[in-house]
Amino acid sequence: MRLEDLSLLRGVSGQEDEVRRYLAERLRGKVDLLEKDALGNLIVGVGLHKKGPRVMAAAHMDEVGLLIHSIEENGLLRFRKVGGIDDRILLSKPVLVGPDRVPGVIGAKPIHLQEPGEREKAVSWRDMAVDIGAKDKAEAEKYVQVGHMATFLTEFGPFGEGRVKGKAFDDRAGCAVLLSLLEEEWDGPFFGVFTVQEEIGLRGARTAAYRVDPHYAVVLEGTPAADIPRKEGETPSTELGEGPAISFMDRSSIAHPGLVKELIQVAEREGIPWQWRRTQGGGNDAGAIHLTRRGVPSVSISVPCRYIHTPVSVLDPEDLWNTARLARAFIRELFKKGDRS
């Protein structure tokens, strides 16, 4: 499902151009509608000449990363975080900066020079900088400008037996699923929307849903698999290898109860393994979509991923395939329904 290609693309929130170009190239000439809106969402439509409810599936193109906000006289790059990143995973991580993919590494005061009190607490991102090897500001400015974005530098590849590791599985996993769905025939008007700026406030989904005005929405997401490490007796949010995760509530929305019930029925009927997304933290594009216009009945189907919002994520390809199977079967059921649930 082209997960590797999508994982290697760079697309921090607000600069999703590389991801959007890749997707558009794969879909051009194969769909009824292919347009970029003013905010940068890629809106795709198939089966638009057919009757039935408008069904929208969404996956966000953007990933977490860093925004370069200043360049110091010594050539170091000061940054701000884009999206929810734990400061503790940043130190010593390799990154690529700007459109020219300038290699850099995130650094801070070495432990040898820290005071005893400093060693007992995590280093804040405010005390870190990206080093690109420049000897001074003038040299750094030859390669990097204020406003450039930095992404983590991560190789995609096999991991253990049957699993894969890579960058930005949140939400290139969802993009891979949605891309596969858009290459199929549908019994009604199906819209696939690759959204922008999800990681900084579900912004693209808001305008895209207003444009499409769907009767139903399915959000395809990469969600935390908090299955290691955990305390004895603690229930993980999701687990790798247990199938797609169905959410009943998160911080941004409550899934439509009727659609959740139907989603589970479809999974059971088709023999597709599934699990609950057991925690209510976080949110996804459903939080913006379900509030659009008159309201949109919405559900989320997520691929469990370990270590999202870090340089390296891990997923089980079987979960990815089963997410696509479930989304495909469920959307076909939606076309059999009326205009509203």
Pick the catalytic residue from 16, 63, 198, 239. Answer: 198
Query: Running DSSP on this structure, what letter comes out for residue 1?
Result: -
Place of tokens 């999206």: 83
Q: Which of 275, 260, 289 is nearest to 318 (CA)?
A: 275
Known catalytic residue at 35: no
- CA pair distance 316, 327, nearest whole angstrom: 17
- CA pair distance 92, 48, nearest whole angstrom: 49
- CA pair distance 21, 23, nearest whole angstrom: 6
- For residue 267 the two structure tokens come to 């999974």
Q: How far is CA 139 from CA 5, 74, 135, in A?
A: 32, 9, 7
Give per-residue burial for 298-333: e unless 16+ CB within 10 Å, then b.
bbbbbbbbbbbbbbbbbbbbebbbbbbbbbbebbbb
Strands 42-46 and 33-36, sheet pairing? antiparallel
Query: 209 and 288 in contact (C-beta within 8 Å)?
Result: yes
Report cis status (omega within 30 of 0) of the bond before 229.
yes
Amino acid in the structure at residue 323:
T
Amino acid in the structure at residue 303:
V
- Beta carbons within 8 Å of 25's beta carbon, 6+ residues apart: none
Q: Which of 29, 333, 12 is nearest to 149 (CA)?
A: 12
* SS3 assignment, position 45: strand
Provide the annotated active-site residues: 198
